[in-house]
Amino acid sequence: MTTPPVTLGPANLSSTLSDTLAREFAGNSLRAWIVALATAVVIHAAFWITRRVLKARLERIAAATATRWDDVLVAVLADIRFWCVLLVAIDAGSHSLVLSATVAKLIRGAAVVAVALQLLLSSRLVIEETIRQLLSRSKQADGTPDPSIASATTIIRFIATLLIGSVLILLALANLNVEITPLITGLGIGGIAIALAAQSILGDLFASLSILFDKPFLVGQAILVGDKVGIVEQIGIKSTRVRSLSGEIMVYRNTDLLSSRIHNFSTMKERRVVTVVGIICETPTDKVLRFVEIVKNAVRAQLNTRLDRCHFRSIGPYSLDIECVYFVLSPDYAQFMDAQQAINLRILDDMRREGIELAYPTALEIQRSESQARPTSPAPAR
């Protein structure tokens, strides 16, 4: 006897589908899993579609305006990462499931951390644009950015990132239902201990801020520290890098720099030169006065110099010393050396022409006859 085939009617199909959806997997029905997956997919797809439409409209607006902040907003939208949106969509879909407290907390924590990281990554675009705006508004007369602001960009970037990161960490912990008041109190006490243990690091940090606001030197300026001369290349959080004249990099701790005596050559407008020339003691008075005029004329002959004074200063043990003070009207060291060389060459030529001799260490030997050297005997007493 054959069994008649089973015909699936609408009632039977609905019952079978209902039974299938009611089956449980990992503590949740198939229906709940489908709803969770659909919620995550819809949120994920809706976000990217909305972002694409909004980004296209903002790009059109940004192209028609002169401000840069709408361009930053477009860049922030373009910078949103796939994994951040995915974790947020998964967290939203998980609310339709019955999960253990540990799993639910893990999913929630992953989504909160992803959002915090995305905000931190996007904040760098705002920080960079703020620095760029600051540099553009603080330009000098020649159109170049203010060197003090340009030197401080690394420090500003670090401090801004540190502050934003700290705020995001506290907000993330608050969203994870972590009591942050005791944490802040504990961090305050721990911060004191860390500050005592890291005094040198914090000292360098505050020294960098002092360099930023006090501006003893800027990037690109020539400075003398101790007996070393170089060009400042970078002012960092802990140290400053100076490239010496011979080419190597010298690294100074910021606290060491502030405790040193720094000579900043880049702020010079002109160079003061003091030169002393000695001529022989046998030189007649009229030629001494003539030599003073020779030195004056040698300085005046240079276009980029200004004579201050020139005098017969002193009578030395083996020379008559003429002191001349003049200014080279440029801070450039090469121009200073060119002017000094030209002045010295002209002085030498005029001295030879006038028959005036340079002094050099000499000793005079005095010889006396035997009668002059013998002491005179005293007269006998009467």
Cα–Cα distances (Å) from 91 to 36, 99, 143, in that order, read 9, 12, 51
CA distance 125 to 80: 12
Sheet with strand 320-328: strands edge to edge:
271-279, 320-328, 305-315
- CATH: 1.10.287.3240, 3.40.50.720, 2.30.30.60, 1.10.443.10. Which one for 142-153+178-260? 2.30.30.60
Measure Cα distances from 319 to 51, 148, 283, 346, 375 in Å: 88, 50, 9, 20, 34
Q: Which residues of 138-156 are buried (b: 16+ CB within 10 A; e: fewer)?
A: eeeeeeebbbbbbbbbbbe
What are the tens digits of pLDDT across the range 10-64?
Answer: 555 566 656 665 677 667 777 778 888 888 899 889 989 988 888 888 888 877 8
* 286 SS3 class: helix
Residue 340 corresponds to which amino acid?
Q
Q: Taking the CA atoms of the chain, what radius of gyration do you get in angstroms?
A: 42
How far is Cα 120 from Cα 169, in angstroms, rounded to an integer? 10
Give residue 1's pLDDT. Answer: 47
Cα(366)–Cα(326) distance, integer angstroms: 41
What is the reported pLDDT for 35? Answer: 84
Tokens of 212: 């930023």
Where in the chain is CATH 3.30.70.100?
Answer: 271-354
SS3 of residue 210 by DSSP: helix
Find the helix or strand (DSSP H, E) in which 338 lies. helix 333-354
pLDDT for residue 300: 93
Contacts of 66 (CB under 8 A, 6+ apart): none
- Hey, which residues does 320 pair with through a beta bridge? 279, 315
26 touches 98 (CB < 8 A): no
DSSP 3: P
Helix (H, G, I), strand (E, B) or coil at 223: strand
Q: What mean pLDDT is reported for the chain? A: 80
Q: Apex CA 164: angle with CA 159 and CA 165, to 5°?
A: 95
With CA atoms as reference, report the closest residue to 254 among 204, 291, 306: 204
Map tokens 């992803």 to a residue: 114
Q: Give domain 271-354's CATH number out of 3.40.50.300, 3.40.50.970, 3.30.70.100, 3.30.1490.190.
A: 3.30.70.100
Q: Rounded CA gap, 259 and 252, in Å?
A: 11
Quote the pTM value: 0.52
The predicted pLDDT at position 334 comes to 85
Q: Which of 24, 22, 33 is nearest to 97 (CA)?
A: 33
DSSP letters along 73-129, please? HHHHHHT--HHHHHHHHHHHHHTTS---HHHHHHHHHHHHHHHHHHHHHHHHHHHHH
How far lies 186's CA from each of 177, 181, 225, in Å? 17, 9, 42
Query: pLDDT at position 324, please?
Result: 93
* pLDDT digits (tens), the chain, 382 positions: 455 554 545 555 566 656 665 677 667 777 778 888 888 899 889 989 988 888 888 888 877 887 777 788 888 888 888 888 888 888 888 888 877 888 888 888 888 888 888 888 888 888 888 888 777 776 665 666 666 666 667 777 887 888 888 888 877 877 777 776 666 666 665 555 555 555 566 677 778 777 777 778 888 888 888 888 888 888 877 888 899 888 888 988 888 888 888 888 877 788 889 999 999 988 899 999 999 999 999 999 998 899 999 999 999 888 999 999 999 988 888 888 999 999 999 999 999 999 998 888 776 666 666 655 555 555 555 4
Q: What is the pLDDT of residues 152-198, one digit of tens each?
A: 677 778 878 888 888 888 778 777 777 766 666 666 655 555 555 55
Q: Integer distance in angstroms from the first to the last C-alpha of the chain? A: 188
Query: 103, 105, 91: which is closest to 44 by C-alpha?
Result: 91
pLDDT of residue 224: 87
Distant-in-sequence, close-in-space partners of 45: CB < 8 Å, separation ≥ 6: none
Residue 254: count of CB within 10 angstroms of its CB? 22
Q: Which two tokens stand for residue 382?
A: 């009467």
Distance of CA 4 to the CA centre of its chain: 88
Question: What Cα–Cα distance (Å) separates residue 361 from each residue in 287, 321, 324, 355?
Answer: 20, 13, 21, 19
Backbone angles phi, psi at 287, to 5 degrees: -75, -30
